[in-house]
Chain A
Amino acid sequence: MSSSDTLVATGNRAHSHGPGSPVPLQARSERPTSYDVADFAVPNGREEEWRFTPVKQLKALFEDAAGTETPKVDASGPEGVVFETVAADSLKVGKPQDRAAAVAWNHAGDAFAVRIPVEAELTEPVHVNVASLGARGFSHLIIESGRHSKAIVIIDHSGSGELGSNVEIVVGDGADLRVVSIQQGDHESIHLGQHDALVGRDARLHHVAVTLGGKVVRIGTNVRYAGPGGDAELLGVYFAESGQHHENRLFVDHEAANCKSNVLYKGALAGDHARSVWIGDVLIRAAAEGTDTFELNRNLVLTDGARADSVPNLEIETGEIEGAGHASATGRFDDEQLFYLQARGIPEDAARRLVVSGFFNDIIGKIGVPEVTEHLHEVIEDKLARTAELSESAKAVIGQ
């Protein structure tokens, strides 16, 4: 895959303490977080954390007022899982990091909690569906997995509305929790979400953010560790089409010793003004000896007019680490790959699908939840079919 500077901006800040780096992570981690909306001004788009985001389209989710419609939440799961409604402040693992999260926190009302009891091993995934229906609404989910439990929770965000959401995740000591958050709202939908996870001692969190639809979708995922030996695998897949903005912001805060984090986000973009933003912040604090972390973001730009921004930031405050690295690459669709496959008889559209599914292959393999990976394959196929139609009609217009 070749890099292209004309189409694509790739953040090249090798380390946040390097030259040209405006915001050290230490400062970022001290950036105000608050449950009080009034502590955050309405973003104007010039702030560091909003500079990539089309804030003009988000006014409704910045307004400190009750929602016009409560999103519909329904949940199902195998025996053992407990669903209940709890007070918003019953857990407080996450603290809003920006105005949208604070607005959502205050206007979502009670939180919907999914509890996996101590030592429970769930045989089937838990499903939580959040449908936002044509208006402004807020949701608050809590996922709490007990010590030594094992579970998969799939959150499916759909609908046509404007949704502000908070998701708080606690992984109990020695527990193994997989959370898949799917964002597949209608074309006009807007979703600003904040996920906060606290990973217990020797626990394992597998967090997957899949964004497949929506006009503006921005998900912040923040991970902290409650004790040593925690392991967080943070995966993301997105596919932005014409006029869509898909943004993922990660912050992994290594404060405990001997913890691991592995971040892999992959996205494709197709169509005019398709836009993706990926910010990956990893901070290894002085006490976090033995940390092992790696983060990688790759973007595949399928057509002209799309743009991907990718900014990895790694800041290390101790020399006693196992390993730390990051990489980011954004490339255009490689026509040489297409030629090679076609030269073996494979028709162009099938060759294109093969290249794109190859691009996503490793990350889809890592998601490891069959119903999600099957769904992903299907949606990617659909999107590629639409991209092919687009380029066919473009050819027709310019008379090729």
Chain B
Amino acid sequence: MATLEIRDLHVSVDTENGPKQILRGVDLTIAGGQTHAIMGPNGSGKSTLAYSIAGHPKYNVTSGTVTLDGEDVLDMSVDERARAGLFLAMQYPVEVPGVSVANFLRTAKTAIDGEAPKLRTWVKDVNKALADLDMDADFGTRNVNEGFSGGEKKRHEIVQLELLNPKVAILDETDSGLDIDALRIVSEGVNRFAAQGDKGVLLITHYTRILRYIKPDFVHVFVDGRVAEEGGPELAEELEANGYERFLKAGAK
């Protein structure tokens, strides 16, 4: 059972006017088999949390710890974190010109597994993963995310999630910008991943809409760089009804 533990995480970014504090003491434990939703208004630091866990160089961890099964994640390079079992589905997936999806997926799979996948089963797996996300097989020959629509980019993230099959998946607003069909397709992918039983999911979202398809075990309301309130699925229902108003007032003090 994988466990991702985030303790008292403080993160800042460098700006022209010096460092700016964004995360102010985040505590979160995601055990295998659990799905956690993080909900919060724009600018509350959700992506910062996701990127900091993945190791984006822009974010400076000023204090706190992140461990995966007891291993110090913060001490690892970005690729080591991925090989340790972390996966980040990005809010804005990056285009990589000239690198085909097929080449990218095979290179990533080889890096994660430490050996090249068996050719015969791999081609089948890729085609199935694409088909499951309602993507044409010829996406394999396209360049990574280049010329993809917003929805295709998000579905491509979930294709990678299913093929790389990490221990813990962090999904940063994978639902944003999706129409209802795409939202359902993406949610089914996440649910297939979670259904394996021992996987952790950290679902970051701005809207409650995706929670009709993916049932979280825990909901955390994220305001001003920390978890303002936690609860079960009923917390999401409250947010659905009343929005973030109550938390923003509290956050503003």
| Residues in A lying within 8 Å of B, measured CB to CB | 1, 334-337, 339-348, 350-351, 354-355, 357-362
Contact in complex: A344, B111 (CB < 8 Å): yes
A342-B79, A346-B111 are known contacts. Are A355 and B54 too (CB-CB below 8 A)? no
Contact in complex: B57, A335 (CB < 8 Å): yes
**Cβ contacts A to B, 24 pairs, < 8 Å:** A334-B94, A339-B56, A339-B57, A339-B78, A339-B94, A340-B96, A341-B104, A341-B107, A341-B108, A342-B79, A343-B55, A343-B88, A344-B104, A344-B164, A345-B112, A346-B79, A348-B77, A348-B79, A350-B111, A351-B79, A355-B99, A357-B99, A358-B99, A361-B97
CA distance A355 to B87 in the complex (A): 20
Contact in complex: B160, A344 (CB < 8 Å): yes
A339-B78, A346-B107, A350-B107 are known contacts. Are A361 and B98 too (CB-CB below 8 A)? yes
Contact in complex: B143, A358 (CB < 8 Å): yes
Nearest B-chain residue to A341, judged by Cβ: B96
Q: Note all chain B residues with C-beta closer than 8 A to A335.
A: 57
Name the interface residues of B77-110: CB closer than 8 Å to any CB of A: 77-79, 81-83, 87-88, 90, 93-99, 103-104, 107-108
CA distance A360 to B98 in the complex (A): 7
CA distance A339 to B52 in the complex (A): 12
Contact in complex: A340, B79 (CB < 8 Å): no
Contact in complex: A358, B97 (CB < 8 Å): yes
Taking the closest CB of chain A, its distance from the CB of B241, in whole angstroms, is: 36
CA distance A344 to B111 in the complex (A): 8
Q: Note all chain A residues with C-beta closer than 8 A to B77.
A: 342, 348
Q: Note all chain B residues with C-beta closer than 8 A to A337.
A: 94-96
Most buried by A among B87, B99, B164: B99
Nearest B-chain residue to A346, judged by Cβ: B111
CA distance A361 to B54 in the complex (A): 29
Contact in complex: B93, A340 (CB < 8 Å): yes
Nearest A-chain residue to B114, judged by Cβ: A345
CA distance A78 to B120 in the complex (A): 40
How many residue-residue contacts, CB under 8 A, span A and B? 80
Nearest A-chain residue to B163, judged by Cβ: A344
Taking the closest CB of chain B, its distance from the CB of A45, in whole angstroms, is: 36
Most buried by B among A337, A340, A341, A343: A343
Nearest A-chain residue to B81, judged by Cβ: A343
Type the 1/0 row for B63-86, where 1 means its CB is closer than 8 Å to any CB of A. 000000000000001110111000
Size of B's binding interface in residues, CB under 8 A? 29
Taking the closest CB of chain B, its distance from the CB of A104, in whole angstroms, is: 37
Nearest B-chain residue to A355, judged by Cβ: B96
| Residues in B lying within 8 Å of A, measured CB to CB | 54-57, 77-79, 81-83, 87-88, 90, 93-99, 103-104, 107-108, 111-112, 143, 160, 164
Contact in complex: A340, B99 (CB < 8 Å): no
A343-B54, A344-B164, A345-B83 are known contacts. Are A354 and B94 too (CB-CB below 8 A)? no
Most buried by B among A1, A335, A347: A347
Q: Note all chain B residues with C-beta closer than 8 A to A359.
A: 97-98
Q: Which of B57, B97, B164 interacts with A345 by CB under 8 Å?
A: B164
Contact in complex: B98, A345 (CB < 8 Å): no
CA distance A361 to B98 in the complex (A): 5
Taking the closest CB of chain A, its distance from the CB of B243, in whole angstroms, is: 32
Taking the closest CB of chain B, its distance from the CB of A226, in whole angstroms, is: 36
Q: Note all chain B residues with C-beta closer than 8 A to A334.
A: 94
A345-B108, A347-B111 are known contacts. Are A336 and B79 too (CB-CB below 8 A)? no
CA distance A227 to B81 in the complex (A): 61
Q: Note all chain B residues with C-beta closer than 8 A to A339.
A: 56-57, 78, 94
CA distance A357 to B144 in the complex (A): 13
Contact in complex: B98, A357 (CB < 8 Å): yes
Nearest A-chain residue to B111, judged by Cβ: A345
Nearest B-chain residue to A356, judged by Cβ: B98
Nearest A-chain residue to B103, judged by Cβ: A354
Contact in complex: A346, B108 (CB < 8 Å): yes
Contact in complex: A340, B111 (CB < 8 Å): no
CA distance A337 to B143 in the complex (A): 13
CA distance A344 to B77 in the complex (A): 12
Q: Which of A342, A350, A355, A361 interacts with B78 by CB under 8 Å?
A: A342
Contact in complex: B143, A340 (CB < 8 Å): no
Q: Note all chain A residues with C-beta closer than 8 A to B83.
A: 345
CA distance A340 to B160 in the complex (A): 12
Q: Note all chain B residues with C-beta closer than 8 A to A361.
A: 97-99
Taking the closest CB of chain A, its distance from the CB of B32, in whole angstroms, is: 20
Contact in complex: A362, B57 (CB < 8 Å): no
Question: Lowest 4 CB-CB distances: which A-B pairs, in order?
Answer: A358-B98, A361-B98, A342-B78, A344-B108
Taking the closest CB of chain B, its distance from the CB of A21, in whole angstroms, is: 30
CA distance A378 to B48 in the complex (A): 39
Contact in complex: A354, B57 (CB < 8 Å): no
Taking the closest CB of chain A, its distance from the CB of B78, in whole angstroms, is: 4
Q: Note all chain A residues with C-beta closer than 8 A to B98.
A: 357-362
Q: Note all chain B residues with C-beta closer than 8 A to A358.
A: 96-99, 143
Q: Note all chain A residues with C-beta closer than 8 A to B111.
A: 344-347, 350
CA distance A346 to B83 in the complex (A): 8
Taking the closest CB of chain A, its distance from the CB of B172, in whole angstroms, is: 11
Taking the closest CB of chain B, its distance from the CB of A150, in whole angstroms, is: 29
Contact in complex: B79, A345 (CB < 8 Å): yes
Q: Note all chain B residues with C-beta closer than 8 A to A350.
A: 107, 111
Contact in complex: B99, A354 (CB < 8 Å): yes
A342-B82, A347-B79, A355-B99 are known contacts. Are A336 and B107 too (CB-CB below 8 A)? no
